[in-house]
């Protein structure tokens, strides 16, 4: 699998499991779990990071040499706020990577497609590597690609719901049409969901809640690591399909005889 | 980035070898795939697929029915001019062919319109040679203005133009542009197009990128079957289609399959395609791409056309004239080529209905652009 590296923007990843940093019982447990997961890209909410304190707990537990940081704009409600948050994150964390998420609806945290597209266009112009969190909307994915985002992150089901890939019919279309990597984000509640996403041809998955709230987050992180590898391997190996049956007669082509 | 760069990813000899080394297993895999890719397309057009023709036809028919239903879109070519400054070894309008030359006046265009409207046509395809001084963008603009009140859909198959030209013509009401590369084999292309603006392979190859950027609604891709190995050439056309669909994803696409026939004194053909192989190619395209319009002209015979409408073709012409002014005043001395199926439109649409299909004359509207 070593040759099968994922490239996004200027970075190359060996692991196709991206992780989040929320909801863990302790920073120590987070560090242990994320280390075992093999993840090389971790997202953190700018609102959670104490940008004035370089010794912030979360960041100390996530050495940049091992984990690439992907700050996210969680909490913003408009494109304007998102651009502001992204610039703040770039300044504070010294990275031009940004996971763009704009969910004005506090209940289901559904991403706002209009504000997201506006913000993405602006951020790309400002030199950010933009990874937008979106509904599994194939047209939006293309519109975002057209404005220059480096990956798209469609949801599998509502964030934190652990419901799996309820949007798989649309994820298939996005994967088929995308020129940029597709990272399935949100809703992945079990290693089998992650494997399924990888079998569909997703380039990576982002998992947070399912690892963080497991009884044993370290073991669960390991299970996700294996599942993502297995799914990717199955995607390369091409899943078998039932063969169609031949017809005895030739009603459609007999005129050629 | 345009297709002249994309095409560098392929080498003619490698592609050809890949196609000719496909096996029955590769064909089975392509037929059972839910999402056939270009590699599957290679298998479907390979010699290894010949024994699977009926199975391909069944699948092509089912996929076409699911997407298009039992309908066939009717269109009529309207030849406006046979003036041409290019030399194309296979074409009846070639500069070095001694025929009478004619470019229709406004009055003559409207005479043609009357005849086409009396047959029921609502989709028209403007065709010309390449004579930029007399039949250039201004001529096309004027023609579109004359045609627009009478047709819901205007397509054109003329010389490749610049992006700004396409923008202006779209503004006038142009809906579709068909430009066939003739052959994707660069060296052989030069041999067949030794003189005139058309001899520039790359300018022609990037035409669809220019029209894509201009925002055309539909574009047509294809090769002139016979100039080169048809399988390899068709693979390139499919790769071109695939590239365009990804890049200009708001556009629609059309493929057609003009087949050169061996004839005395004509150009020597590199490959002669049988009826069976043409069916294979049509079905391969449909299995590869469920959305693309597959179009057929009157170059093909009556019996072939009757049968092919059930196998994947979705757009067809009838009773065509290839001489400018030929609908109102036929003149064989002006023809580009002699058509094969000479049935009247009325009798052809009866043949479509007899197969249980609906001939559709209006499938677009002026308000759409």
Range from B116-130, B301-315, B336-350 carrying the lowest mean pLDDT: B336-350
Instruction: Band the pLDDT of B367: cuts 50, 70, 90.
Output: low
d(CA A187, CA A166): 8
CA distances from A213 to A118, A160, A185, B268 (A): 34, 10, 17, 73
Per-residue confidence (pLDDT) for residue A4, from 0 to 100: 86
Which residues does chain B have within 8 Å of residue A255's beta carbon, measured at their own beta carbons?
Answer: 303-304, 307
B residues 149-178 closer than 8 Å to A (CB): none
Residues of chain B found within 8 Å of residue A177, distances taken between Cβ atoms: 246, 249
Set of chain A residues whose Cβ sits within 8 Å of the Cβ of B303? 255
- Any CB–CB contact under 8 A between B58 and chain A? yes
Cα B208 to Cα A148, B126, B165, B238, B252: the distances in Å are 22, 17, 13, 14, 12
Angle at the Cα of A41 from the Cα atoms of A40 and A42, rounded to 5 degrees = 120
**Higher pLDDT pick, B335 / B31:** B31
B11: how many CB neighbours lie within 10 A of its CB?
Answer: 10
Contact A247 B307 (CB under 8 A): no
- Count residue pairs from A and B with Cβ separation < 8 A: 44
Q: Which residues of B touch A253 (CB under 8 A)?
A: 53-54, 57, 276, 279
A27 pLDDT exceeds 90? no
Find, in chain A, the residue whose alpha carbon is nearest to that of B275.
A256
Contact B303 A255 (CB under 8 A): yes
* CA-based end-to-end distance of chain A: 50
What residues of chain B, 254 to 313, have a C-beta less than 8 Å from chain A? 275-276, 279, 303-304, 307, 310-311
What pTM did the predictor assign? 0.80
Share of chain B above pLDDT 90, in %: 78
What Cα–Cα distance (Å) separates residue B14 from each residue in B20, B25, B173, B186, B191?
10, 20, 42, 15, 22
Q: Given CB atoms, is B213 within the 8 Å cutoff of chain A?
A: no
Coil, strand or helix: which one is A85?
helix
Contacts of A244 in chain B (CB under 8 A): 31-32, 55, 59
* Beta-carbon contacts of residue B234 (< 8 Å; ≥ 6 apart): B45, B223, B225, B281, B284
> Any idea what DSSP says for residue A216?
S
Residues of chain B with C-beta less than 8 angstroms from the C-beta of A252: 54, 57-58, 61, 307, 310-311
Contact B32 A176 (CB under 8 A): no
Coil/strand/helix, residue B156 = strand
- Give the pLDDT band (50/70/90) at residue A91: confident
CA distance B326 to B320: 9
Minimal Cβ distance to A253: which of B31, B57, B249: B57
The pLDDT assigned to A67 comes to 85
For the sheet containing A129-134, what is the strand order? A153-154, A129-134, A97-100, A68-72, A41-45, A17-20, A204-207, A183-185
Q: How far away is chain B from the Cα of A176, in angstroms, using its nearest Cα? A: 9
Contact A179 B59 (CB under 8 A): no
Closest CA–CA distance from residue A149 to any residue of chain B (Å):
15
Could you tell me the pLDDT band of residue B123, with boundaries at 50, 70 and 90? very high
Task: Tell me the three state secondary structure of residue A121.
Answer: helix
Mean pLDDT of the region B277-303? 95
For the annotated catalytic residues of A, the residue numbers are 99
Pairs from A126-131 (Cβ < 8 Å, separation ≥ 24): A126/A83, A126/A86, A126/A87, A127/A96, A128/A86, A128/A90, A128/A96, A128/A97, A128/A98, A129/A8, A129/A9, A129/A10, A129/A96, A129/A97, A129/A98, A130/A98, A130/A100, A131/A8, A131/A70, A131/A97, A131/A98, A131/A99, A131/A100, A131/A183
The answer to whether the Cβ–Cβ distance between A253 and B28 falls below 8 Å is no
Tokens at residue B8, please? Answer: 């560098």
Q: Which of B31, B53, B249 sits opposite A253 (nearest CB)?
A: B53
At A242 the pLDDT is 55
| Banded model confidence at residue A2, pLDDT cuts 50, 70, 90 | very low
**Is A142 close to B249, i.e. CB distance below 8 A?**
yes
Taking an 8 Å cut-off on Cβ atoms, the answer to whether B58 and A243 are in contact is no
CB contact under 8 A, B53 and A255: no
pLDDT, average across residues A249-256: 83
Q: Tell me which chain A residue has its CA closest to the CA of residue B311.
A: A252
How far is the alpha carbon of A18 from chain B, nearest alpha carbon, in Å? 27
Mean pLDDT of A129-151: 96
Query: What is the reported pLDDT for A49?
Result: 74
Does position B28 have pLDDT exceeding 80, yes or no? Answer: yes
Other C-beta atoms closer than 10 Å to the C-beta of B249 total: 15
What string of H, E and C letters represents the secondary structure of A28-72? HHHHHHHHHHCCCEEEEEHHHCCCCCCCCHHHHCCCCCCCEEEEE
* A250–B54 CB contact, under 8 Å: yes
- State the pairing for strand pair A11-13/A6-8: antiparallel
Nearest CA to A254 out of B50, B357, B276 is that of: B276
- Higher-pLDDT residue of B1, B345: B345
Q: Pull the structure tokens for residue B268.
A: 């020597």
The values of phi and psi at residue A103, to 5°, are -125, 95
State which of B59-68, B194-203, B277-286 shows the largest mean pLDDT: B277-286
> What's the pLDDT score for residue A56?
62
**Is the pLDDT confidence value at A161 over 50?**
yes
CA–CA distance, B312 with B59 (Å, rounded to integer): 9
Confidence at A55, pLDDT banded by 50, 70, 90: low
> In Å, how far are A41, A93, A173, A224 from A204, measured between CA atoms?
11, 23, 16, 12
Contacts of residue B159, Cβ cutoff 8 Å, sequence gap at least 6: B128, B129, B130, B132, B197, B198
For residue A223, give the nearest of A214, A22, A182 by alpha carbon: A214
pLDDT given at position B353: 92
Q: State which of A35-49, A59-73, A125-139, B248-262 shows the largest mean pLDDT.
A: A125-139
Asked if B314 and B73 count as a contact pair (C-beta separation under 8 A), the reply is: yes
Is residue B29 within 8 Å of residue B236, measured between CB atoms? Answer: no
Q: Do B54 and A253 touch (CB under 8 A)?
A: yes
User: Rounded to an integer, what distance in angstroms lies between the CA atom of residue B31 and that of residue B72?
Assistant: 25
Coil/strand/helix, residue A224:
helix
Which of A241, A256, A257 to mutate to probe the B interface, most B CBs <10 Å?
Answer: A256
Taking the C-alpha atoms of residue B116 and residue B110, their distance in angstroms, rounded to an integer, is: 10
Using a CB-CB distance cutoff of 8 angstroms, which residues of chain A are in contact with residue B275? 256
Task: List the single residue in A with minimal CA-CA distance to B55.
Answer: A246
Per residue in A11-21, pLDDT tens?
999 999 999 88
Element (H, E) at B177: strand B176-178
**In chain A, what's the furthest Cα-to-Cα distance?**
81
ipTM for the predicted complex comes to 0.73
Query: What pLDDT score does B202 carry?
Result: 95
- In angstroms, the Cα distances linking A211 to A31, A207, B163, B283 are 12, 7, 53, 48
Identify the residue among B1, B62, B246 best suited for mutation to test binding to A, counting A beta carbons within 10 A and taking the highest.
B246
Q: Do A177 and B246 touch (CB under 8 A)?
A: yes
Q: Could A252 and B31 be called an inter-chain contact, meaning their C-beta atoms sit closer than 8 Å?
A: no
DSSP code, position B253: E
Over residues A40-69, mean pLDDT: 77
Average pLDDT over residues B119-133: 94
Residues of B in contact with A241 (CB under 8 A): 32-34
Domains of chain B: 3-362 (3.20.20.70)
Q: What is the pLDDT of residues A188-232, one digit of tens each?
A: 999 999 999 999 999 999 998 889 888 899 999 999 999 999 999
What burial class does residue B237 get, using C-beta atoms within 10 Å of its C-beta: 0-12 exposed, 13-18 middle, 19+ buried? buried
- Are A59 and A21 within 8 A, CB to CB? no
Pull the structure tokens for residue A158.
């509502």
Mean pLDDT of chain B: 93
Nearest to B15 by CA among B33, B35, B41, B36: B41
Q: Do B35 and A255 touch (CB under 8 A)?
A: no
User: What average pLDDT does this structure show over B350-366?
Assistant: 87
Does B32 contact A252 at a Cβ distance shorter than 8 Å? no
Average pLDDT over residues B111-138: 94
**Mean model confidence pLDDT for chain A:** 88
* Residues in A touching B31 (Cβ below 8 Å): 243-244
Distance between CA atoms of B293 and A140, rounded to whole angstroms? 25
pLDDT of B35 > 70? The answer is yes
**Which two tokens mark B283?**
């079905």
Residue A109, pLDDT score: 84
Q: Measured between CA atoms, how close is B122 to chain A, in angstroms?
A: 30
Query: How many Å apart are CA B210 and CA B203, to the nearest integer?
Result: 10
How far off is chain B from A143, nearest CA to CA, in Å? 10
User: To the nearest whole angstrom, how far is the Cα of A170 from the nearest Cα of chain B?
Assistant: 14
Q: Which residues of A touch B300 (CB under 8 A)?
A: none
DSSP 3-state percent helix, strand, coil across chain A (nearest 5): 40, 15, 45
């Amino acid at each position: 699998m070593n040759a099968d590296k994922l490239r996004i923007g200027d970075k190359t990843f060996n692991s196709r499991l991206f992780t989040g940093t929320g909801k863990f019982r302790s920073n120590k447990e987070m560090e242990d779990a994320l280390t075992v997961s093999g993840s090389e890209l971790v997202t953190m909410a700018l609102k959670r990071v104490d940008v004035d304190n370089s010794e912030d707990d979360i960041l100390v537990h996530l050495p940049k040499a091992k984990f690439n940081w992907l700050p996210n704009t969680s909490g913003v409600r408009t494109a304007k706020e998102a651009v502001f948050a992204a610039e703040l994150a770039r300044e504070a964390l010294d990275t031009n990577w940004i996971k763009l998420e704009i969910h004005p609806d506090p209940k289901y945290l559904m991403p706002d497609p209009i504000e997201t597209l506006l913000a993405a266009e602006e951020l790309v112009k400002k030199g950010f590597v933009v990874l937008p969190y979106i509904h599994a909307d194939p047209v939006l994915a293309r519109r975002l690609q057209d404005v220059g985002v480096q990956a798209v992150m469609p949801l599998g089901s509502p964030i934190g719901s652990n419901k799996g890939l309820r949007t798989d019919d649309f994820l298939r279309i996005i994967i088929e049409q995308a020129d940029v990597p597709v990272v399935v984000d949100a809703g992945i509640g079990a290693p089998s969901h992650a494997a399924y996403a990888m079998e569909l041809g997703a380039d990576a998955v982002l998992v947070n809640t399912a690892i963080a709230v497991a009884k044993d987050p370290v073991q669960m992180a390991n299970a996700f690591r294996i599942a993502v590898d297995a799914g990717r391997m199955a995607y390369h190996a091409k899943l078998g399909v039932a063969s169609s049956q031949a017809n005895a007669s030739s009603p459609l082509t007999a005129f050629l005889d | 980035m345009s297709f002249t760069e994309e095409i560098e990813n392929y080498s003619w000899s490698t592609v050809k070898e890949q196609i000719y080394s496909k096996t029955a297993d590769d064909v089975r895999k392509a037929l059972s795939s839910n999402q056939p890719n270009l590699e599957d397309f290679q298998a479907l057009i390979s010699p290894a697929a010949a024994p699977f023709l009926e199975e391909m036809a069944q699948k092509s028919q089912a996929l076409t029915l699911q997407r298009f239903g039992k309908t066939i879109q009717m269109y009529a070519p309207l030849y406006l001019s046979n003036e041409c400054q290019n030399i194309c070894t296979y074409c009846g309008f070639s500069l070095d062919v001694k025929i009478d030359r004619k470019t229709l006046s406004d009055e003559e265009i409207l005479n043609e319109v009357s005849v086409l409207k009396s047959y029921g046509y609502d989709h028209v395809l403007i065709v010309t040679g390449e004579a930029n001084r007399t039949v250039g963008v201004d001529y096309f603009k004027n023609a579109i203005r004359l045609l627009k009140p009478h047709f819901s859909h205007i397509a054109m198959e003329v010389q490749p133009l610049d992006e700004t030209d396409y923008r202006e013509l779209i503004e006038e009401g142009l809906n579709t542009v068909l430009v066939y590369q003739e052959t994707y084999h660069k060296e052989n292309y030069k041999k067949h197009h030794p003189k005139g603006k058309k001899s520039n392979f790359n300018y022609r190859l990037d035409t669809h990128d220019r029209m894509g950027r201009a925002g055309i609604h539909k574009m047509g891709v294809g090769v002139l079957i016979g100039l080169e190995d048809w399988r390899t050439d068709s693979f390139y056309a499919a790769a071109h289609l695939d590239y365009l669909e990804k890049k200009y994803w708001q556009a629609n696409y059309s493929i057609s399959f003009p087949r050169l026939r061996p004839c005395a004194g004509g150009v020597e053909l590199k490959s002669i395609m049988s009826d069976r192989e043409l069916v294979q190619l049509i079905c391969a395209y449909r299995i590869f791409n469920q959305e693309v319009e597959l179009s057929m002209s009157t170059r093909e015979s009556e019996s072939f056309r009757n049968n092919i409408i059930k196998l994947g073709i979705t757009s067809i012409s009838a009773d065509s004239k290839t001489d400018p002014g030929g609908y109102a005043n036929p003149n064989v001395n002006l023809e580009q080529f002699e058509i094969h199926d000479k049935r009247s439109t009325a009798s052809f649409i009866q043949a479509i209905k007899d197969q249980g299909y609906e001939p559709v004359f209006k499938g677009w509207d002026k308000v759409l652009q």
